[in-house]
A = this chain, B = another copy of it.
Amino acid sequence: MERRLATRMQDLQTSDIREILKVAVSSSMISLAGGLPTPEVFPVDELADITREVLELDGPAALQYSTTEGDAELRQAIADRMARVLSIKANADEVLITSGSQQGLDLLGKAFLDKDDAVLCESPTYLGALSAFQAYQPKFVQIPTDDEGMRLEHLAERLADTPRVKLIYVVPDFQNPTGRCWSLERRQGLLDLARRHDAIVVEDCPYAEIRFEGEPIPPLKSLDLDDRVIFLGTFSKIFCPGMRLGWTIARREILEKLVLVKQGADLHTATLTQRQVFRFMTRYGFRAIIEQVRDIYRRRRDVMVQTLDQELPPGTRRTHPCGGLFVWLELPPEIDARIVLKKCLEVDVAFVPGGGFFPNGGHENTIRLNFSAMPEDRIEEGVRRLAAVLRREMEMEPAVAIGAWQ
């Protein structure tokens, strides 16, 4: 069997996230693992009404094959909304509807990456991007980061000395897994460097609208003077993830290639789903959901960071996310988060060990904690249990330093 498979399958392994999601389904489990949005905001009743309306108005056309690019009205509505809420100027014909932004990543990998091409990414970076790109066997070059984003001196060096750089992949707003948000200076610096090296930038932007405090920082795409940024958006965090609806914004020349790739991949994204989301957008919009989500996640984030600060033993550090779904922990280098996870699962607490977010390995002393999926009391209890496990693990280790990345 193995000998029949494509060589790329050697690199594709079952991910932590996947295995963890499997264990985290029992009702007694406190899951700080997956990245599930809180379901209480999903507009269940409204969608039933919307669906009837779509089917009455559009009739069988809502159930027929449609174009690969996506529903024309939905593409226009997304272009309009992006201009309004993120100051991104794009025409409808620069918007491609995808089956979640995950599909956007896969299409980009297929269109751009030959074996051993280089993808420059943050260290750590989003696991789903790794699993999409890995199928095309690139080399990942990890650029060190701090609380303001990629460290640009390292990015400049790698752009200069890495052969065959095809894509710079970044999640500037409330990144998965760290929750960190790039400063405006770093965003502009990245674009300057990309321009100087004529590199294409992929901006994965699922969380920008889930900001709890502080002023929004413009997306790279809104600062993109020479159309070198490819922007990935999704309805998963501002509406419902199970609809699997996202979009890619890119200049026509690139978009046309992505359309060709998508045609072979799934012909088009479901017609009815696109019509449902279009009607929901025009009828209700996403503001009410986003406001609810911000409020719920802000309170959950507060409980998580407060409990972490009270309970975590010295020698651990955390990020302080001003939005998004995740907090990132760094443990003393001697501690293996996979062993911590095993012990936590025994006390019904799940999280994602951070090592998987580093494509070239290492960093096994890191942890991603999700605060979007559990109520506050469960988060508090989960963090207490995690901290107790950590204290026992670290008892025999020398204390290092205490502090929070701010």
Which A residues fall within an 8 A CB radius of B?
1, 4-9, 12-15, 18, 21, 34, 36-37, 39-40, 42, 44-45, 47-48, 51-52, 55-56, 59-68, 99-100, 102-103, 105-106, 110-114, 117, 128, 131-132, 134-136, 166, 200, 236, 240-245, 253-254, 257, 260-261, 263-273
Contacts and interface: CB of A to CB of B under 8 A. Distances in A.
A68 B369 CA distance: 22
Contact of A266 (B40, B59, B103): B103
A34 B45 CA distance: 37
A51 B48 CA distance: 6
A84 B55 CA distance: 31
A240 B273 contact: no
Contact of A242 (B4, B18, B42, B64): B64
Contacts of A131: 263-264
Contact of A64 (B39, B260, B273): B39
Contact of A68 (B7, B18, B66, B254): B18
Nearest to A130: B264
Contacts of A62: 44, 242
Contacts of A261: 9, 12, 135
Nearest to A239: B63
Contact of A42 (B45, B63, B200, B257): B63
B264 A132 contact: yes
A34 B65 contact: yes
B114 A6 contact: yes
B241 A64 contact: yes
Nearest to A274: B242
B12 A100 contact: no
Q: Which of A37, A45, A136, A272 has the most CB of B within 10 A?
A: A272
A68 B14 CA distance: 12
A55 B34 CA distance: 23
Nearest to A99: B266
A112 B242 contact: no
Contact of A40 (B60, B135, B273): B60
B14 A260 contact: yes
B257 A271 contact: no
Contacts of A42: 60, 63-64
A134 B264 contact: yes
A136 to B, nearest CB: 7
B39 A61 contact: yes
A215 to B, nearest CB: 30
B44 A48 contact: no
A7 B112 CA distance: 8
27 contacts: A1-B254, A4-B166, A6-B111, A6-B113, A6-B117, A6-B136, A8-B114, A12-B260, A36-B65, A39-B63, A42-B64, A48-B51, A48-B52, A52-B52, A62-B242, A64-B240, A99-B266, A105-B264, A106-B265, A128-B264, A132-B265, A135-B265, A240-B272, A244-B266, A244-B269, A265-B265, A273-B273
